Structure 1
Amino acid sequence: MKYKNYKAHLALLGANIIYGGNFLIAKGLMPNYLQPFALVLLRVVGAGLLFWIIKLFVKEKIEKKDLPLLAFCGLFGVSANMLFFFYGLSLTSPIDASIIMTSTPVIVLILSAFILKEKITRNKYIGILIGGIGAAILILYGKTAAGTSSIIGNLFVFFNATSYGFYLVLVKPLMKKYKAFTVISWMFMFGFAFTIPFGIGDLAITDFSAFTTNAYLSLAYVIVGTTFLTYLLNIYALNYVSPSVNGSYIYLQPVVSFIMVSLSTYLFNDTTYAKDISMVKILSCIMVIAGVYLISRKKALSFKLRLRSTKK
């Protein structure tokens, strides 16, 4: 079992390193090669097909009464979530986006209090306050900061985190009832339907002949790596570690983003994001992480998902 736990932590480490790299890699695709909504549509189609290929080997039917809830999960967990994220990322710094995403546990706690009537303790209130202030400072700082920061872009990334948090609350009863691959496959199918109106126009005018080898590799990274592979790694890890341990790895994402921007600047002489690292952003990151720590330090939050990759 200890060996299994060791592999689970490696899986979580790998998944969050991939997530952290996505901020810089996806940013490089937009808008030179793809508009944000076209990239989202390709991501949903590509990853959705991969999930449904695996779903062919998972024999499980969905009850008709659960289809509306799956549709909402597809809307908030796939379509709105990705549209907000990639549009926001196209406008702001990858550093800002990675820090804002660490506020997701704070958002989920607030939504759970309203929707699921979860009790909020004093420590959690303090955590919400500290994390919220840190996120607010970063979002507002985007208006005056040097580099590629943008208050509009930061707001859309925050909308993304809110949409994803809403999805986490909605999907909880479905994950208890069905296998994980069943839920995610249906989510991506509904997400595809919601994404088509936004992405089809931009995709139709995309000039794929202008794509370089690096552009295609970056696109594969976003579709196969950030969406499909990370999900598999998280599902594997959740068989052996608690959801709270899984969630704590989100702190790695801004660290990876900081490292990649630094390497890009100092090793490859790419100064595009050289001014995106500042003391204000570092302090904002510390405040968000401290807030999430206060929220989750005593025990795993009851609203966190207990995904099941197998069902007997």
Structure 2
Amino acid sequence: MLNNKYKAHLALLGANIIYGANYIIAKGIMPDKISPTAFVFIRLSCCALLFWVVKLLFIKENVEKKDFFMLALCGLFGGAANQMLFFHGINLTSPIDASIIQTATPVLVLIFSVIILKERITKNKILGITLAATGAIFLILYGNKAVGTSSFLGNLFILLNACSYGLYLVLAKTLMKKYHAITVASWLFLFGFLYIFPFGISDILNTNFEAFTTNTYLTIGYVVLFTTFFAYLFNIYALNHLAPSVTSSYVYLQPVVSFLLVSILAYLFALNQYAQDINLIKILSCVLVAIGVYIISKPKKKNDKKRTIVKD
């Protein structure tokens, strides 16, 4: 029988493989079958329902009135804005570009922590921020000239998505210490759905569901059940048995998974739109981001175990 630490590593492996595959799976049905905004509407509504069912069945916890404003902000940056920017970004750009840019999230969390929480910044962290930012910015600018499915605007949306999620993580820090992660997630998705409702309802009503194929439904099911619900639960389980520095290190798997899937589609299935998505520029950008994040994320002697909510 596997002990809890091995199970936690397997959970993290599964969660980050799910995230890595999500970049290309979610892109596959947009915009031909469904618009990005309608996709976000479905994701937030379904996830709000799923997490509230879990909360009502297993987590008997109430939220103090004074904390609803912060939950509403978390719903805005961690739910609505985060998802809208991600889906519109991945609709426009390469899955590889998106997965590389997303690995800069720890850098953005550090920047917001310094600004909002007044955390101390060291020379090593400044170096890490500089390297990671250089890699991400270069990749975004390169997207304007690159062949394949890269896009400057799409890459910019993905960066803003990472900024939104990084800001959410900093804002949610105090809530995570006070409430169960499922409680925070329930309110996060509920507020996110309320924000997106005015923008997404017309797109949903105008979606041609009769044109949906089995693949369309499977893709939506994957994004809702696996990318959000199960991956989130996997991360929660892992955080109960491993240090946060260990869990964050698994983010480097996401570009690897994306690279592999794009390679399979390009060379085994001869999908020409992906054939030129892998090149030396993107590999070097990925290396710069990874080195920068590693410098920032080097574990301290004292690991402060804390809860967090995971992303796309």
TM, length-normalised to structure 1: 0.96
Shift of 1:26: 0.4
- TM-superposition CA deviations, 1:98-132 (whole Å, max 9, x none): 10000000000011000001111111100000000
Residue 269 of structure 1 and its aligned partner are, at CA, apart by: 2.0
- Give the conservation status (yes or no) of the 8 Å contact 2:169–2:308: no
1:101–1:157 CA contact under 8 A, matched in 2: yes
Separation of aligned partners in 2, 1:3 and 1:179: 24
Does residue 1:91 correspond to 2:95, yes or no?
no
- Label 1:308 to 1:156 Cα distance change in 2 as closer, same or farther (>3 A): closer
The letter for the 2-side match of 1:43 is R
- 1:274 aligned to 2:284? no
TM-fit CA distance, 1:272:
2.0
1:48 aligns with 2:48: yes
Distance in 2 (CA, whole Å) between partners of 1:208 and 1:300 is: 54
The answer to whether the Cα contact below 8 Å between 1:172 and 1:305 also exists between their aligned partners in 2 is: no
Q: TM-score, normalised by structure 2?
A: 0.96
What residue in structure 1 maps to residue 11 of structure 2? 11
Alignment partners' CA distance in 2, 1:122 and 1:100: 23
Residue type matched to 1:31 in 2?
A: P
What's the counterpart of residue 257 of structure 1?
Answer: 258
- 1:81 offset after TM fit, Å? 0.3
Aligned pair 1:247/2:248, yes or no?
yes
Q: Which amino acid aligns with 1:72?
A: L
Letter in 1 for 2:44: V
Per-residue CA shift, 1:214-269, capped at 9, x if unaligned? 11111100111101110000001000001111111111001000000111122222
Cα separation, partners in 2 of 1:308 and 1:106, compared to 1, 3 Å: closer
Per the alignment, residue 76 of structure 2 pairs with: 75
Alpha carbon RMSD of aligned pairs, Å? 1.7
1:297 Cα deviation (Å)? 1.3
Seen in structure 2, the aligned counterparts of structure 1 residues 153 and 217 have a Cα distance that, compared at 3 Å, is same
CA distance in 1, matches of 2:282, 2:20: 16
Matched letter for residue 19 of structure 2 = Y
Equivalent in the alignment of 1:104: 105
8 Å Cα contact 1:148-1:276 kept in structure 2? yes
1:58-87 alpha-carbon deviations (Å, 9 max, x no partner): 110000000000000000001000000100
> Mapping of 1:283-294 within 5 angstroms?
283-294=284-295
Contact 1:88 1:156 in 2 (8 A): yes
- Decide whether aligned partners of structure 1 residues 82 and 301 sit closer, same or farther in structure 2, where only a CA change above 3 A counts: farther
* Distance of 1:292 and 1:14 partners within structure 2: 21
Deviation string 1:17-41 (CA, Å, 9 cap, x unpaired) is 0000000000001001110010001
Structure 1: distance between partners of 2:152 and 2:188: 30
Identity %: 58
CA distance in 1, matches of 2:216, 2:174: 39
Match of residue 225 from structure 2: 224
Unaligned runs of 5+ in 1: none
Query: Which structure 1 residue ranges, 4+ long, deviate > 4 Å from structure 2?
Result: none
Partners of 1:139 and 1:151 within 8 A in 2: yes
